Structure 1
Amino acid sequence: MNVRLTKEQKIQILNGQDVYTIMQQVLLRENKIGRNQEHFWVVGLNNDNKVLFAELIGLGAVNRVDANPPDVFRMAIYKLAVKLIMVHNHPSGNLTPSKADKDFTDRMLKVGKLIGIEVIDHLIISEESYTSFATEGIIEELKQSGLYEVVERERKEIQEWKLRMERERAEKEKALEIAQRMKDKGFDSDTIKEITGLRSKDVEGL
Structure 2
Amino acid sequence: MRREVNMNMQLFHELAFYLMYACAALAIFVIVERGLFFNYTLRQAIGLEKAMTHAVQHVQELPAALTSRASLPLTLVSDILAEKHQLTSEKDLQDFSESVYIANRGEVQHRLWILDTIVTAAPLLGLLGTILGIIDTFKALAVSGVSDPGQVSQGIGTALYATALGIGIAVVGMFFFNMFQERIERINDHLKVLMLRACVGRVAGHDTKAAALAEAGKLHLA
Question: Shorter-chain TM-score: which interval?
Answer: under 0.3
TM-score normalised over the length of structure 2: 0.23
TM-score normalised over the length of structure 1: 0.25
Q: Decide which structure has greater helix share.
A: 2
Rg comparison, structure with higher value: 2
Q: Whose relative contact order is higher, 1 or 2, with alpha carbons under 8 Å and at least 6 apart?
A: 2
